[in-house]
Amino acid sequence: MDKLRIGFVGVGFMGQKAHLANYAVLDDCEVVAIAEPRRQLAEKVARRYGVEKVYKNHLELLEDCQLDAIVAAQPYRHHIKIVPDIINAGIPLLTEKPLALSVEAGEYLAKLADEKGVLHMVGYHKRSDPAMEYAKKLVDEWKASGEYGRLRYIRITMPPGDWVSGAGNAITSDEPYPKIELEHDAAYFDEETAKAYDIFVNYYIHQVNALRFMLGEPYKVTHADKSGVLLVAESDSGVSGIIEMAPYENTIDWQESVLVCFEKGFIKVELPPPLACQQPGRVTVMMDNGKCEPVTVQPTLPRIHAMKKQAMNFLAAVRKERPAPCEAREAVEDLKVARDYILMWKK
């Protein structure tokens, strides 16, 4: 198998720790170029990871380098200024979550990818965690068989905690952060609401996406708790869902969980810190269908981190071996949920 030639657009903290470090150890790809306006940083990172070429921006990269795919690890407010150039060049790309800041920008990016027939995978890495993959497969099996009754309820909890979990420092330089034109707030938000929306999509869009992942169908927001703790939703088929946002905080742990409840059993996922190295989530399955003795099990899962598995899933999608876990068109729905929640909350 020929190695895929990968280019990186942006090698800041997340670009290095969440992405580049994982692609650099995969046998079926080679990182051949970096585009980064902080030249000293780019050269230091390139030396560390053995990357041959360095460019000052994505336009130089696109003009000069032959690539099979690009990882554009950029803040989401940058996407509208960078992603269209990559899509128009016909190169598959991975960006971090969310797809963009606004629903309108997200719709534009998704439509462009559809029109050009270009893969734009959005980095909802939790979908690639072995625990989430296992749980999702089991949820679909239970829904299809009906052995444990109907799917009734999903609860996702994400209290703030130690998300870095000893991942270590990234390579840095003394160069100032470059000035990049950012996507503007949506015109229909006032300043206060725009700020609340921006915070929400930054911190909780993973959970918005994970709820749809487990439901396997669209959902709508039905209630926004005035304390800012609860988002209540209902799926197209009538399944209830709740996202608990910061019901409490802790400083030395990460306690994110997904609970999927059927009438006669449940599947619970406890997720690791986002940057925990080679640590998958944990799954607990309780089965009590009235036919056999009740049992609770915790399957043994591969010791691979979601970020590395996400990289593997992206490469497989570029090769068209399997679909990407989440593409731009679906990611627009997360922005719609976020918009609707914030507008309801701020009423």
pLDDT at 135 exceeding the cut of 90: yes
Pairing between β-strand 29-35 and β-strand 53-55 as defined by DSSP bridges: parallel
Look up residue 254 and give its amino acid: W
Res. 170 pLDDT band, cuts 50 70 90: very high
Judge whether 199 and 228 are in contact, CB under 8 Å. Answer: no
Residue of 331, 312, 335, 320 lying closest to 22 (CA atoms):
312
pLDDT digits (tens, 9 = 90+) for 67-99: 999 999 999 999 999 999 999 999 999 999 999
Res. 167 pLDDT band, cuts 50 70 90: confident
Looking at residue 113, what is its pLDDT? 98
pLDDT at 116 exceeding the cut of 70: yes
Judge whether 150 and 263 are in contact, CB under 8 Å. Answer: yes
Residue of 203, 220, 200, 201 lying closest to 212 (CA atoms):
220
CA distance 16 to 314: 17
Judge whether 132 and 220 are in contact, CB under 8 Å. Answer: no
Tell me the average pLDDT of the chain: 96
Looking at residue 10, what is its pLDDT? 96
DSSP labels, 190-227: -HHHHHHHHHHHHHSHHHHHHHHHHHTS-EEEEEE-TT
pLDDT digits (tens, 9 = 90+) for 59-70: 999 999 999 999
Res. 144 pLDDT band, cuts 50 70 90: very high
Looking at residue 161, what is its pLDDT? 93
pTM over 0.95: yes
pLDDT digits (tens, 9 = 90+) for 244-280: 999 999 988 999 999 999 999 999 999 999 998 888 9
The full set of domains in the chain, from first to last, is 4-126+311-327 (3.40.50.720), 127-305+332-345 (3.30.360.10)
pLDDT at 134 exceeding the cut of 80: yes
Res. 225 pLDDT band, cuts 50 70 90: very high
Looking at residue 269, what is its pLDDT? 98
Res. 181 pLDDT band, cuts 50 70 90: confident
Looking at residue 278, what is its pLDDT? 83
Judge whether 194 and 202 are in contact, CB under 8 Å. Answer: no
pLDDT at 1 exceeding the cut of 70: no
Percent of the chain that is helix, strand, coil (3-state, to 5)? 40, 20, 40
Question: What percent of the chain stands above pLDDT 70?
Answer: 100
Res. 168 pLDDT band, cuts 50 70 90: confident
Judge whether 48 and 22 are in contact, CB under 8 Å. Answer: no
Could you give phi then psi for residue 233, rounded to 5 degrees? Answer: -135, 165
Res. 179 pLDDT band, cuts 50 70 90: confident
The CA-based angle 275-162-308, given to 5 degrees, is 10
The better pLDDT of the pair 166, 12 is held by 12
CA distance 154 to 249: 21
> Which residues, at least 6 apart from 280, have a Cβ–Cβ distance to it below 8 Å?
129, 130, 131, 272, 301, 302, 303, 304, 305, 306
Looking at residue 55, what is its pLDDT? 98
